[in-house]
Structure formats: structure tokens, C-alpha cells
Structure 1
Amino acid sequence: MTTTNSVQFPGESGPSVPQQKAPSSTSTAPLRRQSTVRKIKEAAKSLLPAPLFLSLLHHKEIGRYPSLLRPTTFNEKILRKSLRPDPWFAELTDKLTVRKYVARVLGEEHVIPLLAAPDTFSKEVFDALPNSFVMKANHGSSYVEVVRDKSTRSFEELRELADHWLTLDFYKIAREKHYRQIEPRVFFEHLLLDKSGQIPADYKLHCFGGRSGRPTIYILVISDRFGSNTRGDIYDANWNHLDMAIGAYKPSAEPSPRPENLEAIRDAATRLCSDFDYVRVDLYAPDNQIYFGELTFTPGAGVLPFTPDKVDYEWGKLVPDAFLSARPPLPIPATQAA
């Protein structure tokens, strides 16, 4: 049977694209016809100019057509920036090349140890990996496979998944232009666990006006991301729980206790956002430590629903007008994956 999985934007549910697995011998004619129709629809969408494609996607996800000439909402500003990214977006969005920038700004100790970033994922690479690790791809979102016990996984299984990731063009999902410049690669990181053996929560800090030195910060916390009870809670910078939601994530029944290292989390985000008018800084903070996740300049590609909808307008006011302008390149050194 042909099955599909949805690729979601990191930490925030957004539009999805089907990933089709190879059909088995039990596939039926109706399913094959559905697959053909889907392929035709996807091919037709790929022919649309990016502004039209995104306007239609915005209407589908948000419920209204966007203003691209005079954007006012958060989504409209992010959407326009997806079409006109700054020149450094690709380098700092690439999950491999950004590591050197973060090491320089925040410190090497805050970068999750890199186990391998091979040109080719071979059996020799697999054999050299430790018993537990995380396999990722650098050129998109949700390309993450957690391996807790290598003895339960085969090289062939992981290579098939890695090869599949490398065939995917993340730009086609929501036309975020800077993703076209990222050369797809698979890499392997140390599996980050807290003292209880659990994968730590994602702290996704939306940072507005970082260049001012006093950014406005909202924190989206994604808990149990790889489990069966995934939740998304939003706090202000002082850890006041807010009655709102981003995407499809439901809030927890009870807010999480204030992290002991909240000040350190805010400080790390403030340092990482200091070169930008807006950026989402993703961090992990297990056991009073701080580890970098990623930088995201166009979260949800500008088609990310808010509940209530008025937050879209409120956050839009926080995005500086300078964010929409072409900015001179930052003094970011040329980076190469370690």
C-alpha cells in the first residue's frame, strides 16, 4: 500500500508535503490512480510563479490572501522575506555551515558534537558511529532520525532514508528561496539526552529587533516531540504562560515550571540574534546546559496559523521594517562543515 508522511516545519506545524514510500505488491488500482492525480496536481503547482503559489498557500492556511506590497502581519512579512531572502540566509540556515558561526558567537561548547558529515553514507561510516546518535539532513526541516540503539537498526534501512532525504527539494514545499542554495548533505550528531534519559524539549525563541540589543522574545516550547503526547506552549521572556497557539500544536494541561537556567537561555538567544532584525533561535537546555539547535529566518514560510488570529497582527508590529529591506552582508567568515 502506498503510504504518506508529512514534512512539517521545525517546531511549528505548517503546510505539509507528502513523501511517498515505494508501493508494495498489495497496492490497488484506485490507490495508483490517486497517486497519479496527486503527481499531476503537484506538477501543476510547481509551474506557478512563487508569489502566486505562496498567496494561494497563505489563503489556504491562514484564511485570507496576503498583502505582499505592504505587509503588516507576521506571516505576510515572513512570506515576503521567503521570496527576497538576505544573502546570508542560506549559509546560516544550512544546519552544517551554521555550526561555525554559532561556535564563534556563542562558543564551541554550545554546539552539539558532530560525529560525521560524510560525502557518502557508507557501511564504514555506519560501523564507526556510536551505539546512539541522530541522523539529520542539512537542507530542510524534520529530516531527523533518532537512533537510541544501533543494534536494532540496519545500515540499509538508514541509507534508504538518507537517500530519500537527499532527493527532496525543500524549496518546492513553500518556495523559501534561500533553501535552493543549500547543497543537501546527511550528517550525524551526538544524541542529546537529559539526566532522565529523555530527549530534551525544544526551546524556540522568536527574537524581534535583535540589532537593537534589547530584543523582544517569545518562547515556544515543544515537549515530547518524538513521543505520542507532543505539546506546544508559548511563554513571554519572563516565563508567563500565554493563551495562544502556533500551528496545530496543543498546549499542555499545565504549564512547565520555569527553567532554572532561563536567564542563560535568554542570554544565548540574545547573543545569537544580535545581528538580525528577526530570527527564531532554537535551543536545547537539558540539566542547566545550553545547546544550539538551528536559526530560522522564515518560520512556517509565512503561512503559519496563529490562535487567536490577532497574534499574527501583533507580532507583525514587532518585526522591524528593516527586516524587509536588503541588508548589507554581515561579517560572517566563509564556513565549511567540520
Structure 2
Amino acid sequence: MVRPEIILHDISAYGVKMAFYHVQNRLNYTDENMTKLLEEKDKQIKRMSIDEKVKCVMAQYKFEMGEKLDIYNPSSFTEKIQYIKLFGIDTDMVLLADKFKAKEKVAKAIGNDHVVKLIGVYDNFSEIDFGMLPKAFCMKVNHGSGMNCVIKNKEKIDIKALNNKFDLWVGRKSYAETFEQQYRDMPPKILVEEYIEGLDGNLNDYKIHCFDGEPLFIQCIGERNLKNHEGFQRNYDLDWNVLDWTFETYPLFKHEVTKPKHLEEMLEIARLLAKGFNYVRVDLYDTEDEVYFGEMTFTPASGLYPYKRTWTHKKDLWLGERIRLDKKQFGKKLYIE
């Protein structure tokens, strides 16, 4: 059953033809159908004028947040992320959002020891020679989130199933889902990385939210089931005191989370990487011996965090006050056109 409000949203945002595609795919959802849908949307969106894209983003925001988006005079965190993803993405952000290209730039800033070693990079799955890979490794694509696999024993993998999965992921148009400009023209790649014990979901993911180059709070997510996109979370201040709110994307941890061993080092790494950006989330992992870089995100969750429980409109406004939008600066570096 497809709810009427979803159909009306799709018609408002994308027109009748694309709304029809959406209904078809929601009634018969498969990864293959969704990939085809996003390919059609990507073609349509790339033909749109900036005014048409703004209209789509406003419709998406209204549907997800239940509020009208003031795109040209944003005040809340979620509103300002909409502004950034439409008007504030520059070439540095595009490079750092690419999980492949970011490695070199990040290594220069914080050192190779903090960057997971890259074993190989490929344009498509058929290029991968599994005979040359170690027993355990990690695979991911460079142009989106949640598209990764941890291989602990390559002798036990189903090559055909893995091939199908990565063919879908490589073809997936992240930009068509979210209008995040940093993904618009990013050439898709498959990355094979060194396996680090714990980076299969057992390690906590420390997402350090930085404003004007300075960390403000830490979003800790852990006990993850990567396959089902499940986990637990808490927000902490810089001294590892629990905050009374989260984005409510996961339930709260059922226990106290131990302060990470290398907290001060992680905060310093975040400062180095966040320098020069009005807002960025720096994701890091803390092992017994080393801190590892995860990714840098300029528009987390595409700026769509629906209000519930501790994540309120008041908190959204409070966080939005911390993002300083320099519209003249953005105008000079505009990436969208």
C-alpha cells in the first residue's frame, strides 16, 4: 500500500511521470528497481533549472520534516544543510566526499597511519582478481553511504551474489535520491581496503560535528548490524559527558559507553580536517593502537532529521545558530552550475 501523501509529494516534487515510477517500484520494491528509478531521476534532475531543483528540495523537506523550508533565509540546522547542499558545495567538499580521492588529501593532513590502507580501486567488479587479494578485506563504493561489505574469509564468499550487489551499488545515483551536489558528477569506484579488526561494526563510530573548524559534540554510534542498518547511539560533549539529546536515528545505548582511549587525539584530528569549513562531520574509529579516519560528511542524512522525542525544533534552531553561512563566499565557489 502506497500512502496518498507520498504520491502527492512525488507529483509535487517530480511530476506525474516520475510519481508513477515511484508507485511502481514501491509496490514491487527490489534493489534493481530502485537503481533503475534513480537512473531515471538522475537524468531528469540534471535537466532541471536551479529553480526546479529548489522546488524539489523544498517539497522533500516539507514531506520529511512536516515544515515549510525557508531556503533563502535558513535558520535551523536542517534548513541550513539544505542551503549548503544546493548552494554551498565547493570543489574541496566534492573531493573529500569521494571516499577514494579523500584518502590522499586526508593522509597529507593527518598522516598515513590514520588512513586505512587501500589494496585496490576498480571501475567495475569484473576487474577484481580475488586470487590476488588477502584472506580478509573490506569492500565499498566511493560515492555514497551504507554500501560496503566486510569479507573475513574470501574462500566463503558467493562471488555471483557479491557481483550483483556491487553492480547495483556502482550504478546507484546517490545524487538523485538527495540532491547532494557533491555526488552529482562523482565517478563511481569500488574500493578494496585492508581489514582492520573491529571495523566490521564492532567498533564505535565517533562522528565529531565541527562548526567553523571546532568540534562541538560527538555522536557515538555502535553495536551495529551493518546488514540491517541497526545500531545504538548517544551524543557526548568534548569531555565525554552524556548530552540529553540525539538525532533519534538509532535507539540509545542500554549501557554507559566508555570514554575512548584516544579522545584528545581524535578531537585534534577533527580540528585539522575541519579547518576552513563552516560545518563538517568528521567520522573516526578508535582502536587499541590507532585512530582511523572514516569519512567527512558535509550534509549528514541530507539534512533531513524528522523531529521526535529529544530532537526538537528548538534543538534544531540551537544547532543551526552554530552554522555561519557566508553567502558571498558560496556564490564565488558555486558548484551547482
TM bucket (normalised to shorter chain) is 0.7 to 0.9
Deviation string 1:271-300 (CA, Å, 9 cap, x unpaired) is: 111121211101111114100011111112
Q: Does 1:76 align with 2:75?
A: no
Pick aligned residue for 1:156 from 135, 157, 160:
160
Structure-2 change in CA distance of 1:54 and 1:260 (3 Å): same
Structure-2 change in CA distance of 1:254 and 1:126 (3 Å): same
Match of 1:67?
A: 70
Q: Contact conserved, 1:194 with 1:287, CA < 8 A, in 2? A: no
SS of the aligned residue for 1:135 comes to: strand
Q: How many residues align?
A: 294
SS of the aligned residue for 2:293 comes to: strand
Q: C-alpha displacement at 1:120, in angstroms?
A: 3.6
SS of the aligned residue for 1:112 comes to: coil
Equivalent-residue separation in structure 2 for 1:87 and 1:32 (angstroms) = 34
Pick aligned residue for 1:50 from 48, 53, 65:
53
Equivalent-residue separation in structure 1 for 2:218 and 2:328 (angstroms) = 23
Matching residue's letter, 2:172? L
Q: C-alpha displacement at 1:308, in angstroms?
A: 2.9
| Superposition pairs of residues 1-338 of structure 1, within 5 angstroms | 34-35=27-28, 49-84=52-87, 85-122=89-126, 125-194=129-198, 199-210=202-213, 215-226=214-225, 230-305=231-306, 307-322=311-326, 325-326=329-330
Q: Contact conserved, 1:233 with 1:252, CA < 8 A, in 2? A: yes
Structure-2 change in CA distance of 1:323 and 1:257 (3 Å): farther
Deviation string 1:132-151 (CA, Å, 9 cap, x unpaired) is: 11110001111111112212
Unaligned runs of 5+ in 2: 1-22
Matching residue's letter, 1:133? F
Please report the TM-score for the alignment, with normalisation by the length of structure 1: 0.79
**Greater RCO, 1 or 2 (C-alpha within 8 Å, sep 6+):** 1
Equivalent-residue separation in structure 2 for 1:66 and 1:128 (angstroms) = 51
SS of the aligned residue for 2:288 comes to: helix
Equivalent-residue separation in structure 1 for 2:114 and 2:205 (angstroms) = 15
SS of the aligned residue for 1:117 comes to: strand
Q: C-alpha displacement at 1:226, in angstroms?
A: 2.3
Structure-2 change in CA distance of 1:310 and 1:192 (3 Å): farther
Unaligned runs of 5+ in 1: 1-29, 330-338
SS of the aligned residue for 1:233 comes to: strand
SS of the aligned residue for 1:181 comes to: coil
Please report the TM-score for the alignment, with normalisation by the length of structure 2: 0.79
Q: CA-atom RMSD, angstroms?
A: 2.9
Q: Contact conserved, 1:201 with 1:221, CA < 8 A, in 2? A: yes
Structure-2 change in CA distance of 1:312 and 1:324 (3 Å): farther
Q: C-alpha displacement at 1:66, in angstroms?
A: 1.2
Equivalent-residue separation in structure 1 for 2:104 and 2:265 (angstroms) = 21
Equivalent-residue separation in structure 2 for 1:304 and 1:202 (angstroms) = 19
Matching residue's letter, 1:89? M
Equivalent-residue separation in structure 1 for 2:106 and 2:176 (angstroms) = 28
Equivalent-residue separation in structure 2 for 1:129 and 1:58 (angstroms) = 43
Q: C-alpha displacement at 1:324, in angstroms?
A: 7.8
Structure-2 change in CA distance of 1:226 and 1:198 (3 Å): closer
Matching residue's letter, 2:54? P
Q: Please, which moves more after superposition, 171-180 or 112-121?
A: 112-121
Percent pairwise identity: 29
Deviation string 1:65-98 (CA, Å, 9 cap, x unpaired) is: 1111110001111111111212322111000000
Q: C-alpha displacement at 1:305, in angstroms?
A: 2.9
Matching residue's letter, 1:93? A
Structure-2 change in CA distance of 1:192 and 1:303 (3 Å): same
Q: C-alpha displacement at 1:251, in angstroms?
A: 1.0
Equivalent-residue separation in structure 2 for 1:175 and 1:290 (angstroms) = 32
Q: Contact conserved, 1:81 with 1:324, CA < 8 A, in 2? A: no
Matching residue's letter, 2:90? D
Equivalent-residue separation in structure 2 for 1:280 and 1:155 (angstroms) = 34
